[in-house]
């Protein structure tokens, strides 16, 4: 189907960088454009969203320089015309649908847009969805839920939703699930049964399985495990074709956070897979081989997008939990150490509690808000159910993880990092009486590894939080002290200004998280920390 391919990041419009795939096909010229939908489906099944091109361009040949390298400057811009799709083009019928189609065209750089065209088949992704969300809110003045676009991504469905929320006194708000709804999701796969002939060592493991090694906390967990243990560490990595590529991705992440690994390099074993797929995306033989070798599992990987609904999180955060438990229960019984989140307490059952204890029942939540928190709640419930069946499990709930206590290496892509960067860039911050619990990442990773090697930890949950919180005003004062002038303004004014900034500058650092920050939770203030009273 494809003889050659190249993917590059283009910025044909200032501030709007996108991945574009250029392909040379082996099929007849008259049928070439028809392969694009099939290619997109194949890629969506194999790669994470951020690696999927927004546009595909079919060429006779890839342009080359005299040295035989890809001539990037000669690659044409994507055609703005509507691509060939499986569904026929249906034009908008009403003024509302016409306006929505125009907004889609502005965001996707495609024209025309059909009434039943799928946003993601046209090259949409999560960042573009958030950009479109703000355009819709600005144009129609409705609190439009991102969930509607993700679950039914057509102009027709958006128009119906806008009519619904325009004619209702009830705001869209942040998505909620009752404890009954959550429990209906937390059903352990019946194939997960104890089927082992030996028990892995948690104190002195010869082989460790780690998910999330290419993330922030995962990098420091890998570093801590390399230093405290002697065995091999198998690291699940997605989006790579070869183990060499996977190894490079892991070590690049260690370099990013200033972590030394040269003396331990041979112990880092990449495993190319995907948390959201059956058997973690591995072949059955490979899955069984790992099941017989691994002694202990650290499950730190997660799909985190605070603006996304539960349905978008389910495959990785809940389905991945089921697959991890399958691995834990086969051939050699392994203890599992799950990195959860205090976000599970973002619930009506806990808002008025003076304190939340580690052993408090999950069922006390009543209602949980936000897709990420809901997926973590369901995952925790699955792990607790598995523990009752005999699989050793420990759960860790770190609060807001800050940079390394000595090197300062940190993840600026986290919510707090994005907020602080926006304060500096825009010179304004919201005046709110809220607190942030900051715990250095090296404290968290060391605590997890130390606790995981103690028998007394099995079956328990741990709140890894800093008892000394910082008010948002204190954080602003710290930024001011190093020379950045920042004005604190009322939250509604700050929110309005930031929406305007994102509309004019879609690549703004707050674009991925502002929809979450502006959602309303009954009885709470915005961007409140749900675990200051742990």
Phi, psi of 461 (to 5 degrees): -115, 150
What average pLDDT score do residues 318-322 get? 98
Residues 212 and 244 grouped into a single domain: yes
CA dist., res. 130 & res. 135, Å (int): 9
DSSP string, 427-444: SEEE----EE-EEEHHHH
The answer as to whether 473 is a domain residue is no
Mean pLDDT in residue range 78-91: 86
pLDDT value of residue 525: 44
> Are 164 and 135 part of one and the same domain?
yes
Record the pTM: 0.83
Whether residue 307 has pLDDT greater than 80 = no
pLDDT category at 527 given cuts 50, 70, 90 is: very low
The neighbouring-strand residues paired with 464 are 398
Strands of the sheet with 16-25, listed across from one edge: 2-13, 16-25, 55-59
Chain-centre distance for alpha carbon 157: 25
Same domain, 144 and 14: no
Query: Count of domains in the chain?
Result: 3
Q: Which helix (H) or strand (E) holds 23?
A: strand 16-25
Q: What is the pLDDT of residues 435-478, one digit of tens each?
A: 888 999 999 999 999 999 999 999 999 999 998 888 899 999 99
**Is 480 a residue whose pLDDT tops 80?**
yes
Return d(Cα 319, Cα 276) in angstroms, integer: 6
Identify whether residues 115 and 223 lie together within a single domain: no
Q: What is the mean pLDDT of the chain?
A: 89
Contact 241, 233 (CB under 8 A): no
Expressed as residue numbers, the domain containing 108 is 95-172
What CATH number is attached to the domain comprising 142? Answer: 1.10.1200.10
> Considering the chain, what percentage of its residues have pLDDT values greater than 70?
93
Q: Cα–Cα distance between 295 and 447 in angstroms, integer?
A: 19
- Considering the domain boundaries, does residue 379 fall inside one? yes
Q: Are 133 and 513 in contact (CB under 8 A)?
A: no
């Amino acid at each position: 189907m494809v003889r050659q391919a190249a993917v590059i990041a283009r910025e044909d419009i200032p501030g709007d960088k996108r991945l574009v795939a250029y392909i040379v096909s082996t099929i007849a010229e008259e049928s070439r454009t028809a392969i694009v939908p099939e290619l997109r489906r194949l890629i969506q099944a194999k790669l994470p969203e951020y690696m999927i091109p927004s546009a595909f361009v079919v060429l006779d040949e890839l342009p080359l320089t005299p040295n035989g390298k890809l001539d990037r400057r000669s690659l044409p811009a994507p055609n703005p015309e509507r691509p060939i799709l499986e569904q026929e083009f249906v034009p908008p019928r009403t003024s509302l649908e016409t306006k929505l189609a125009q907004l889609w065209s502005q965001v996707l750089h495609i024209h025309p847009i059909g009434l039943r065209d799928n946003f993601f088949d046209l090259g949409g992704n999560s960042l573009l969805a958030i950009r479109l969300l703000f355009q819709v809110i600005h144009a129609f003045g409705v609190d439009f839920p991102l969930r509607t676009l993700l679950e039914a991504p057509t102009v027709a469905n958006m128009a119906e939703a806008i009519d619904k929320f325009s004619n209702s006194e009830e705001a869209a708000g942040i998505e909620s699930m009752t404890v009954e709804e959550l429990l209906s999701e937390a059903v352990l796969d019946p194939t997960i049964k104890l089927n082992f002939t030996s028990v892995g060592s948690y104190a002195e493991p010869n082989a460790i399985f780690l998910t999330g090694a290419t993330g922030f906390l995962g990098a420091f967990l890998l570093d801590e495990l390399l230093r405290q243990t002697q065995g091999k560490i198998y690291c699940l990595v997605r989006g790579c074709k070869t183990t060499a590529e996977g190894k490079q991705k892991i070590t690049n992440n260690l370099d990013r956070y200033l972590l030394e690994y040269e003396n331990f390099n041979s112990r880092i074993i990449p495993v190319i897979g995907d948390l959201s797929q059956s058997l973690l995306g591995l072949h059955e033989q490979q899955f069984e081989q790992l099941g017989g070798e691994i002694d202990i599992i650290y499950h730190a990987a997660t799909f985190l997008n605070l603006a996304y609904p539960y349905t978008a999180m389910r495959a990785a955060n809940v389905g991945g939990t089921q697959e991890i438990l399958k691995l834990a229960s086969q051939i050699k019984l392994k203890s599992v150490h799950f990195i959860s989140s205090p976000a599970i307490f973002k619930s009506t059952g806990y808002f008025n509690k003076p304190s939340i204890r580690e052993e408090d029942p999950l069922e006390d939540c009543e209602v949980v808000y936000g897709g990420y928190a809901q997926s973590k709640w369901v995952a925790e419930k699955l792990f607790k159910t598995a523990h009752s069946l005999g699989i050793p499990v420990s759960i860790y709930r770190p609060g807001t993880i800050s940079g390394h206590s000595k090197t300062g290496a940190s993840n600026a892509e986290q919510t707090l990092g994005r907020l602080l960067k926006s304060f500096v860039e825009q010179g304004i911050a919201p005046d709110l009486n809220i607190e942030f619990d900051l715990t250095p990442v090296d404290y968290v990773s060391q605590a997890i590894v130390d606790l995981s090697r103690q028998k007394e930890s099995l079956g328990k949950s741990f709140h890894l939080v800093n008892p000394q919180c910082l008010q948002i005003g204190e954080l602003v004062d710290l930024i001011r002290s190093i020379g950045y002038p920042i004005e604190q303004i009322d939250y509604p004014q700050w929110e309005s200004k930031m929406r305007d900034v994102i509309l004019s500058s879609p690549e703004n650092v707050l674009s991925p998280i502002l929809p979450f920050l502006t959602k309303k939770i009954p009885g709470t203030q915005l961007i409140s920390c749900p675990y200051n009273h742990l």
